[in-house]
Structures are given as C-alpha cells and as structure tokens.
Amino acid sequence: MTRQIVSVIGGKDGPSGTPYESINPARPAETVATVQLGGPDVFADACRTAAAAQREWARVPAPVRGRVIASIGRLVEANAETLARLVTQEVGKPYAEALGEVREIVDTCDFFLGEGRRLYGQTVPSEMPDKSLFTFRVPVGVAAVITAGNFPVAVPSWYLVPALLCGNAVVWKPAEYAAVSAHALFRLFAAAGLPDGVLNIVFADGAATFAGLDRALGEGTVQKVGFTGSTAVGRAVGELCGRHLQSPCLELGGKNPMVVMPDADLDLAVEGALFAGFGTAGQRCTSLGTVIVHEDVHDEFLTRFAEAVRNAKIGDPNGEVLYGPMLDHKFAERYEDYLTWIEPHHTVLPGSTGRMEGEGLYYHPVIVDGVRPGDRLFMEETFGPIVGVTTFTGLDEAIELANRPGYGLSSSIYTRDPQAVFRFREGVSAGMISVNNSTSGAEAHLPFGGNGKSGNGSRQSGMWVLDQFTRWQAMNWDYSGRLQKAQMDVAEI
C-alpha cells in the first residue's frame, strides 16, 4: 500500500483531505507517498493550536530550548543517511548533495544551540540620574513558514531552528512534492522533545495556504511569515502580510551572474560555472543565470565550458552525477517554457535541448551564447539547467550588467585583482558575493538573502536571523522616587 502522509497539528494527525501523489522524478510512475492536502481550515486551526502552545514554550528558559535544539541536531545526524535517501528519492537530488543538505541542518543546530545562552539584551544609559534602561529580546509568537522543495529539509531548518530557539511556535507548510522528506524531518524534530503544538506541519495547496494564512493573520494567531519560493508568489505573500501590517521574511528567486575578468583562472571559472549553473539541475535560488565574460577570454572560456558540460554525467541521482532529474512535473513543464526564450541570434551549446530520452524527468544541459542584455533569457530567472553567456569590456559595464535584471541574491567574480574584487563588491546589489567561487554553496552561519526581486532585505542564517524571530522590548526603571520627565528633566551639564 502507498504510504500516506497527513498534516500533524498539536501532536495529532490532521484530517484527510484532497489526495496528492508525491512522485519519484527519476521514475515518475513511482509514487513515493499520497499526501492529504488540507483546506484553509486546517491551516487556520494549526495556527490557533500553535498560538496556545507558544505561551508555555516561551516560558521554557532559552538555554533549555537550546538543549532541545542540540537533541534535534544529534537525531538528524544519526538519521542523516535515511533522510538523504528520501530527499534523493523524492526530489531527485544527487545523494552526495542530499547528504550535504542534511549536514546543513546539523550545522544550523550546532550554531543555534549556543544562542540559547546568548539571547542577550542590553543595559542602556539614561538621560537622567537614578534611572536605568534595558532592552530584551522577546519571541514574536507564531511563525508560519512556507518552503519550497528544492532544499526540502535544509532551508526549512533555517527558519525552524532559530524560530523555536527564540521561543516561538511554528506552523510549517512545505511544498507538497517534497512532503515525505519534510514529514520525516518534522518527526525528528518532534522526537527531540518539543511539546505538542510547538511545531506543526500542514500540507495544503497554494490557494488553501493563502486563504488559511489570511484568516490566521486576521485572527492574530500568526506574527511572522517566512517564505522561500518564487518572486511572483513572494510578492503575493508580501502583499497579504502588508495588509495585516506584517513584514515577512522573503527569500525569493535570483538571476545570479558570474563575472569572468580577463586575468581569471579559466579552469576554476569553468568548474564554478558548471556547479553553479547545472548543480541541482539549476534549481537553486543561487543557481548561475548568466556568465558575463570579458571579450578577450570569451572564446577560450566558452570552449572549455562547453567541453566540461559535454563530459558531465547526468542521470540516476543515486550515482555520482552532476545532476539528476527536475524536481517534479510542474518544474519540468515550466522549464520547457523557459527553453522557448532562446532566440534565433543565440548559439546553443553543446547542442541538444529539452528532455532526454527515457522515463525520468532528465533535461539536457544548455549553454546559450550571445545573450543580449534586453533578452528575456538575460532578465528573468530560469529554474533549470540553462546558462546564458554575454560579454563585457570594462568592469563598470560588468557591474551594470550584473545588476540589470533587478534581482540581487548571489553574484560572483573570477579575478586575481583585489581592486576589481572590492569595486565589484561595492557596485553589485547582491546580498551575497563570491570571489573565485560559485554563486551556490552558502555556509550555514553567514547572512543569507537578497535584495530587489530576490527578497525584501531580510536575512536568514547566523545571528542576524534572531532579528526576524524576536522583537526588541525596551524597559525603563526610575528609582529616583519622583517623576523625571524624559527630554524635559535632563541633568544639567
């Protein structure tokens, strides 16, 4: 019998709903599990349950919450291979990468378990004598976390771990096509000793999620929304939150450029472009969009890049491959649409485009040379194994080209010239910059996030994310025994 996956709210299985089949994209005829998708009620109920559980959880001392985070890390580590296998089976991520993704959860737990002992506030000098000022970090309340399935376990943990550590409850709505991996991670979190209701998992389609979230925001049971996904959906989440006077944490798409300067180590640049452009079948928000290569080295770079792509192994994600299938049918279809953006003036290398023969959702890697700055392929994100190439003559032009699409997630530069590195850093609008390194592969304790169409400036990971999941509370304590008025009774100099 096919495995059944259902929402878990307050420690109990939620109601069954509309069945959805999560498939193995390497063998699309194979159903990994049937997922019961709930309606808006299920989402809103989960938020109410979370709000009730949060009050007790916030009273658990932060260092003790840190110990729970430590247990989560140990449990994930002990189950790393099983979890990674599930990720490979359900979203087609090569096993080595899936294992790396699980490692990222452990790293995130390692970082935040100590934050439980460091949720510092401040003491602040007062304008007046016999008066002290303080700040405290307080949990926001309930976080609704909506995540994509290209990183079905690591990216959710970037929200879940700090949100829980800070004393919040969470309602997590993962992508339905990655529901089995998400459910497995959820169970490890629950097994680590989180009280029922503090973490809830809800499966729902986009429309039910929006309707449920709108209701929960209206009822005041959600105080923070975290969303990782496309720019279009992120805009809608932002609008919804704005109507409820909330500012969400948005981690959206990218059109990430790689600038190759004339002095670059071309082999290194090719290696970076191969991984960033085609790793995870180009389905990372940090995937490489366009190589902006100096005209003097364009031909040499392109020859080597095309050769590397020609030699790359694509196929069964259980083997050692550059990439496996697309995440799901929906992504394969969308990618076929992006392929229609190739224009007659472009040159396509190594040659084939589109779906490979066989049953899996495998697609040929495509390099598109001769992309011009106004082309759709230059301006918009294409979630799939396709990389554009264009040329420049001076660094200022390269920076302008890097910024032109209006995203601002990850940008990279290959050069030996430190002056170029710093001018590039100052000029690009990206939240993350790589020097002689691929646009993908952020570490779990640096601020992660983008600007422009890539997000609203919020950051995940590391200590910076604490500002998403706590709010500052200010307190003043006057022990003078009289009413001292701020600004009016300031001590004389």
Q: Are 305 and 270 in contact (CB under 8 A)?
A: yes
Alpha-carbon distances, residue 145 vs 127, 157, 201 (angstroms)? 41, 10, 9
Positive or negative torsion for Cα 250, 251, 252, 254: positive
Give whichever of 101 and 316 is closer to ligand UN1, judged by the CB atom: 101
Give whichever of 47 and 465 is closer to ligand UN1, judged by the CB atom: 465
Residues annotated as catalytic are: 251
Give whichever of 440 and 456 is closer to ligand UN1, judged by the CB atom: 440
Neighbours of 41 (CB within 10 A): 16
Q: What distance in Å separates the CA atoms of residue 151 and residue 171, rounded to the nearest whole number?
A: 18
185: CB partners within 8 A, 6+ apart: 76, 83, 105, 152, 153, 156, 157
Q: Are 299 and 398 in contact (CB under 8 A)?
A: no
Query: Smallest distance from the beta carbon of 18 to ligand UN1, in angstroms?
Result: 27
What does the block give as tokens for 183?
Answer: 């459910």
Triad 339, 96, 334: Cα angle to 5°:
20
Query: Smallest distance from the beta carbon of 439 to ligand UN1, in angstroms?
Result: 8
Q: Residue 89's Cα: distance from chain center in Å? A: 20
Query: Smallest distance from the beta carbon of 487 to ligand UN1, in angstroms?
Result: 47
Query: Smallest distance from the beta carbon of 2 to ligand UN1, in angstroms?
Result: 29
Query: Smallest distance from the beta carbon of 157 to ligand UN1, in angstroms?
Result: 11
Alpha-carbon distances, residue 63 vs 134, 147, 154, 229, 275 (angstroms)? 21, 27, 23, 32, 39
What's the DSSP call for residue 194? Answer: P
Give whichever of 148 and 332 is closer to ligand UN1, judged by the CB atom: 148
3-state SS, residue 87? helix
Residue 100 CB-density burial (10 A; 0-12 exposed, 13-18 middle, 19+ buried):
middle
Give whichever of 263 and 380 is closer to ligand UN1, judged by the CB atom: 380
Alpha-carbon distances, residue 395 vs 337, 379, 398, 428, 430 (angstroms)? 33, 19, 5, 11, 16
Give whichever of 390 and 440 is closer to ligand UN1, judged by the CB atom: 440
Residues that bind ligand UN1 (CB under 6 A): 150-151, 155, 228, 284-286, 440-442
The strand order across the sheet containing 256-260 reads: 347-349, 366-369, 386-392, 288-294, 256-260, 410-414, 432-435
Give whichever of 136 and 464 is closer to ligand UN1, judged by the CB atom: 464
Positive or negative torsion for Cα 6, 7, 13, 19: negative
Query: Smallest distance from the beta carbon of 462 to ligand UN1, in angstroms?
Result: 13
